[in-house]
Amino acid sequence: MTAHIEAQDLSYKYGETPALRKVNLAVEKGEVTALIGANGSGKTTLLKIMSGLEAPSEGSILLQGEPADCKALRKISTMVFQKTTVFNMSVYDNVAYGLKARGIGRHEIDSKVSKALKLVGLEDFEKRRARKLSGGEQQRVSLARALILEPDILLLDEPTANIDPRNASIIESVITRVNRDLGTTIIMASHNIGQARLLASKVAALQAGVLVSLGSAIDILGKPSDILESVGRLQNIFSGQALPTQGDLTLIDIGDGVKLEAAEVKEGPVTVYIKPEDIIISKMPLLSSARNILKGRISEASDWNGLIRLKVDAGKEFVIAVTRRSFEEMQLNLNSEVYLTFKAQAVHMIAS
């Protein structure tokens, strides 16, 4: 089968600095492909080239097997950037901007704007000033502005980065609906491993501009690896057996007497991770609604991106990030007895 869009031996340099090195990536029509990789790995650069916003230094882009220049790519694709940019005008005018530039009539624009805003859940926002909205709402405006152009290929750069969970959930739902109902081919860059697992059927992992791994989301994201750790700074990755409990919770036995509760119903073998910043450390048990409270001892402390990284032996080794001030105020030291507290929602499943 001929790929919808394909990168062949794609290389790109910023001056003398390589950003992409001989990347080969084929994306089938109607497929959702996630690009994962640490900052500076080349994800955004690859999206820009595949959207026609940049020309490669070497190599080529094919559409349906035929070489395509930037102009051809821009006709059939639209890119939504991580850093939301909305114009200082109404939501209606922001979303309608691309259609007005194409000379579309007012009646058709009204109809398309209405549908696009309904799709992203902003149907009552037409007259509101776009720059007065929250960051998440502005990102939904940007997404509507892209979707109103009915692109064959939608490229998303960290579509839910730094926005609140409610707006992130809405955007993820829109991505799924657009792919399912319209058959839109979607290529998205993401640091969110859970999001990549949820939305994508295929995953491409980049490191220093090189495509180092390509395969199904299950194969790439289904087990702990150096790739996952470098992408999401996943320090607390555990595999175990899951058993549903009351309500919408799952009890996961990760061995050595340690069991975790997760806010997702699964059964059987799973792999999970907990972000270091989602774990609260204390000298005494906390009065909290959090489902996970573990007792352990600090086994290691080191500087980590301006924070103090602690390793705590709680049957399994957990990594926690705290500020230096908190570390000093709690008078933490090696072998200090501590309690780890985190919510069931903080236990993210990356495989099942």
- 52 to each of 66, 157, 180, how far by Cα in Å? 15, 14, 25
d(CA 234, CA 217): 17
**Ranges under pLDDT 50 in the chain:** 352
d(CA 208, CA 262): 34
- For residue 39 the two structure tokens come to 């900052």
Task: Provide the CB-side half-sphere exposure for 63 (13 A, CA).
Answer: 17
- For residue 174 the two structure tokens come to 């829109």
- For residue 71 the two structure tokens come to 């102009």
Q: Do residues 222 and 69 lie in contact, with contact meaning Cβ atoms separated by under 8 Å?
A: no
pTM of the model: 0.71
pLDDT at 231: 63
Interhelix angle for 106-119 vs 91-101, to 10°?
A: 130
The letter for the amino acid at 116 is: A
H/E segment holding residue 284: none
Mapped onto helix, strand or coil, the DSSP state of residue 50 is helix
d(CA 45, CA 54): 8
The vertex-235 CA angle with 230 and 241, nearest 5°, equals 115
The letter for the amino acid at 221 is: L
- For residue 198 the two structure tokens come to 């949820």
pLDDT at 229: 61
Eight-state DSSP code of residue 90: B
pLDDT at 352: 47
d(CA 177, CA 171): 10
d(CA 63, CA 77): 11
Strand partners, 12: 20
Strand partners, 150: none
Interhelix angle for 165-182 vs 106-119, to 10°?
A: 120
The phi, psi pair for 6, rounded to 5°, reads -145, 135
Task: Provide the CB-side half-sphere exposure for 117 (13 A, CA).
Answer: 22
Eight-state DSSP code of residue 246: S
d(CA 267, CA 248): 12
pLDDT at 224: 58
The phi, psi pair for 125, rounded to 5°, reads -105, 5
Nearest to 231 by CA among 187, 184, 194, 202: 194
pLDDT at 305: 59
Domains, the chain, ordered by start: 5-230 (3.40.50.300), 233-351 (2.40.50.100)
Mapped onto helix, strand or coil, the DSSP state of residue 258 is strand
Eight-state DSSP code of residue 84: -
pLDDT at 162: 75
